[in-house]
Chain A
Amino acid sequence: TAGITQAPTSQILAAGRSMTLRCTQDMRHNAMYWYRQDLGLGLRLIHYSNTAGTTGKGEVPDGYSVSRANTDDFPLTLASAVPSQTSVYFCASSDSGSTSGGLSTDTQYFGPGTRLTVL
Chain B
Amino acid sequence: QKEVEQDPGPLSVPEGAIVSLNCTYSNSAFQYFMWYRQYSRKGPELLMYTYSSGNKEDGRFTAQVDKSSKYISLFIRDSQPSDSATYLCAMSKGGYQKVTFGTGTKLQVIP
Q: Helix, strand, loop or mixed for chain A's interface?
A: loop
Write the chain A residue with the least CB distance to B8: A40
Q: Helix, strand, loop or mixed for chain B's interface?
A: loop
What CA separation (Å) do A71 and B35 show in the bound complex? 27
Which residues B2-45 have CB closer than 8 A to chain A?
6, 8, 32, 34, 36, 41-45
In-complex Cβ contact of A43 among B92, B95, B101 (8 A):
B101
B54 within 8 A of A: no
Contacts A42-B101, A42-B102, A43-B101 known; A104 to B96 CB distance under 8 Å? yes
Question: Would you call B98 and A113 a contact (CB within 8 A)?
Answer: no
Total A-B pairs, Cβ < 8 A: 57
Size band of the B side of the interface?
20 to 34
A109 within 8 A of B: yes
Write the chain A residue with the least CB distance to B103: A42
Contacts A98-B96, A107-B46, A110-B43 known; A41 to B32 CB distance under 8 Å? no
Question: Would you call B103 and A105 a contact (CB within 8 A)?
Answer: no
In this complex, how many residues of chain A approach chain B with their Cβ under 8 Å: the count is 25
Write the chain B residue with the least CB distance to A48: B98
| Among A59, A101, A104: residue with most chain B CB under 10 A | A104
List chain A residues, Cβ under 8 A from B96: 97-98, 101-105
What CA separation (Å) do A98 and B97 show in the bound complex? 10
Contacts A103-B97, A112-B43 known; A42 to B104 CB distance under 8 Å? yes
